[in-house]
Amino acid sequence: MSSGSSDGVAVVLVAAGSGTRLGADLPKAFVRLAGRPLLRWALDQAFGVSADNELQRVVVVAPATHVRQAQALLTDKEREFVRVVAGGAERSDSVAAGLAALADCDAVHVLIHDTARCLAPAELFDRVLAALRGGDEAVVPGLAVTDTIKLVDKAALVTGTPPRASLRAIQTPQGFTRGAITRAHAHGAQATDDAALVEALGLPVRVVPGAASAFKITEPDDLDRAERLVRTDARKGAR
């Protein structure tokens, strides 16, 4: 995979979530989809990036209790450039732990990806990277929303209705220049995605078209949807 090229790509795969909402008795990254752990699916999708986007390093951020189990999912060849580190209490803590594992890596672009979106296709990684190579500092995949979205207050009263045409449901992988994502995470700030921390720096964040299959596996129904998708793809010989 990597020869240490100076414009290389690093991927941080956050996989330290609990899986509580999935009703699983083990961390979500180790729940099986068509017989394989979600983390293994996510790794395989990421490794499918085009040769132009050579991965210099992949960091898997695993639950502190499951670092060895995550390492055991890697092939000998993968162990040469994949590092497994322990995550933190919140998603942003896990991302920060992943970024710390890039200290000795000179990749200039960093993709941060939720293992829970384990069917996000390699083309989506390539699309985000293409925008970064085009000069953007922060790039996120997004889909148009079909529901009308309301803002509500704590008393469940509607405070506003943003125009639907200006809304996007944001996915991962989210891509950043090394400088932008390092600054965004420099002070331990928390957010539900990394782009929000970059926005807080005042930097522009570009949205590129997302992918339906990059949905997040959160509830049991999501896992059923993923099983159906994988079965359909297997019938078509796509995976």
Q: For the CB of residue 70, give the shortest distance to ligand C5P in the complex, in Å.
A: 11
Distance CA 34, CA 239 (A): 12
Nearest Cα to Cα of residue 55 among 76, 81, 79: 81
CB nearer to ligand C5P: give 17 or 141: 17
The reply on whether position 116 binds ligand C5P by CB under 6 A is yes
The reply on whether position 43 binds ligand C5P by CB under 6 A is no
> What phi and psi values does residue 184 have, to the nearest 5 degrees?
-60, -35
The reply on whether position 195 binds ligand C5P by CB under 6 A is no
Q: Which stretch binds ligand C5P (CB under 6 A): 15-23, 69-77, 134-142, 162-170?
A: 15-23
C-alpha distances in angstroms, 17 versus 13, 81, 83? 11, 23, 18
Q: Tell me the number of residues near ligand C5P by CB under 6 A.
A: 18
| 55-62/82-86 β-pairing | parallel
Distance CA 36, CA 23 (A): 18
Nearest Cα to Cα of residue 34 among 121, 118, 125: 118
The reply on whether position 114 binds ligand C5P by CB under 6 A is yes
CB nearer to ligand C5P: give 7 or 44: 44
The reply on whether position 90 binds ligand C5P by CB under 6 A is yes
The reply on whether position 115 binds ligand C5P by CB under 6 A is yes
CB nearer to ligand C5P: give 18 or 232: 18
Q: For the CB of residue 90, give the shortest distance to ligand C5P in the complex, in Å.
A: 5
Q: For the CB of residue 217, give the shortest distance to ligand C5P in the complex, in Å.
A: 8
CB nearer to ligand C5P: give 172 or 177: 172
Distance CA 4, CA 80 (A): 12
Q: For the CB of residue 161, give the shortest distance to ligand C5P in the complex, in Å.
A: 25
Please report, as ranges, the residues that interact with ligand C5P according to CB under 6 A: 14-17, 28-29, 61, 87-91, 94, 114-116, 216, 218
